[in-house]
Amino acid sequence: MTPASARPGDGIAWITGASTGIGAAVAKKLVADGWTVAITARAEDKLQTLASAYPGKMIVAAGDVTDAAGMKALRERIESEAGRPVALAILNAGAWQEMGAGDFDFAAFKMQFEVNVIGTAACLDAVMPGMMARRAGQIAVVASVAGYRGLPRAVAYGATKAALIAMSESLKFDLDKAGVKMSLINPGFVRTPMTDTNKFPMPFLLEVDDAAGRIVRGLAGGYFEIAFPWQLVLPLKLLQSLPARLFFGLLGRGVK
């Protein structure tokens, strides 16, 4: 039997990367739906500002997702403060830096893997055992449509998101048997402080509240993959099926 989506009565929600952008917008939507939400990021001042608008509904839990021991301790503190377990974990912390062969930067490459992949794994290590022991809960990993196939100027970012997609798919087999819902979130371009620095065209750019609504509805609806907008997802899914010769020939025309 497919595990059920988490509901507010099951416990609390925990969102990483929650100080701005998608994480903050999803936290607001979940509070409106009746959740108590623990919000995590390194910028405690931004978390405090966000939580101050929702007294008693948000738990500020600042921390660095790359610190695995710290994430376990943070999850324990969150559950102790709330008096309930983490029933929904949305692992959203991420870093992005445009990169190609000509400006390949090992330090920036490593940083993106540490935040996007290792940081997600550290949070999984913090929440997954408890959920499996209770045979209840929902984990959502935020990847990106950029992980569907290797795209220009996304040498590091695309690779991290491809890793998260494969990891989430692999985990689903065991988590289904353990009674834990696994969800994968693959957004396209969303207007956030992270994408505000982009100097290239961003087709089908969504506002952050629109994206957050799609995520919350998808999680409640029990979908494994929540990917949007379809106008971007569909062509990228089609690119996945192309043989290498056609793929590079098609995309290579637009690369300067």
* Integer CA distances (angstroms), 245 to 19, 154, 189, 249, in order: 42, 20, 27, 6
Per-residue pLDDT tens digits for 110-131: 999 999 999 999 999 999 999 9
- Token pair listed for 7: 């509901």
Per-residue pLDDT tens digits for 31-71: 999 999 999 999 999 999 999 999 999 999 999 999 999 99
Per-residue pLDDT tens digits for 86-111: 999 999 999 989 999 999 999 999 99
What's the pLDDT at 192? 75
Under 8 Å CB-to-CB from 167, ≥6 apart: which residues?
A: 117, 120, 121, 141
pTM: 0.94
Backbone φ, ψ for residue 39 (5° rounding)? -115, 130
Q: Which CATH superfamily is domain 8-252 in?
A: NAD(P)-binding Rossmann-like Domain (3.40.50.720)
Domain residue ranges of the chain, discontinuous segments joined by +? 8-252
Confidence tier at 11 by pLDDT (50, 70, 90): very high
Mean pLDDT computed over every residue of the chain: 94
Q: Which of 54, 148, 157, 223 is catalytic?
A: 157
Name the range with the highest mean pLDDT among 91-100, 128-137, 185-194. Answer: 128-137
Q: What does the alpha-carbon distance between residue 123 and residue 28 come to, in Å, rounded to a whole number?
A: 21
Under 8 Å CB-to-CB from 225, ≥6 apart: which residues?
A: 183, 184, 185, 186
What's the pLDDT at 149? 94
Answer yes or no: 157 catalytic.
Answer: yes
Asked if 140 contacts 88 with a C-beta cutoff of 8 angstroms, the reply is: yes
- Statement: residue 199 has pLDDT above 70: no
**213 by DSSP, 3-state: which?**
helix
Higher pLDDT, 240 or 183: 183
Is residue 141 within a helix (H) or strand (E), and if so which, with residue range?
A: strand 138-142
